[in-house]
Amino acid sequence: MLRRPTWTDKPELMDAPLLDEAALRGNLADLARANRWLGGTSLTLQCLEEAIGGLPASSDLSILDIASGGADIPRSVADWAEKRGLQPRVVATDLNPQMVRLAREAGDGSPQLGFAAADARLLPFAAGSFDVVMCSLALHHLRPTDSVLMLCEMRRVARRAIIVNDLVRCWHGFIGGWLFGNLMTRNPFTRHDGPLSFRRAYTVDEMEGLARQAGLQPVRFRGFLGFRVCMLHALSESDSHVARAA
């Protein structure tokens, strides 16, 4: 038996440019549940705490989230920052304008959360525009070359830290994705894309290699049950200078 599922770049249903809206809403709700129950949200918050834990209360904190989907994690991040006494400004982005619209409609009109359509490989923001640039479940949607482009853009736009939260290609994750899709939901996107996402995902070593190509060294990892991982790169002052000059 193979130690891991074979990597594939077969497209997921939710990567189509125009999606059935009812199915998409259900899929985004499923992803929010998976993030809440299975380590996605908690890993990102742990990495944020590690990256900016020493920030004094009442400090401004700007965060860019890439490929936000339904923006459940950006909302959790804004709530977390407010509870810590910070002044957050969180911008949730996605390549698909339909996704951006649904994420905005699902919100409560919080002034701390903004939305924008943006390509992760060519972000429409100036160098050093945000304290933290993060993404969740975005990396596995990209082929290696595009993954490096996204990581380079994250480095360019960030001032303090970069956080990449994603799946790990492994058999127990693949089986878990199938079980979640077939036992926890009837949504056709979730059933199709859940196990496929684990076949598209990178291993921790592969993620570290992509980060190295993008100039993100060193990186630290936090994991959840071997199938979900968060990669953190804290920028040094020299990194920030390089990003601003790029």
How many CB atoms lie under 10 A from the CB of residue 207?
24
Domains and CATH numbers, the chain: 39-169+203-245 (3.40.50.150)
Tens digit of pLDDT for each residue in 146-171?
A: 999 999 999 999 999 999 999 999 99
Tens digit of pLDDT for each residue in 74-130?
A: 999 999 999 999 999 999 999 999 999 999 998 777 889 999 999 999 999 999 999
| pTM to 2 decimal places | 0.94
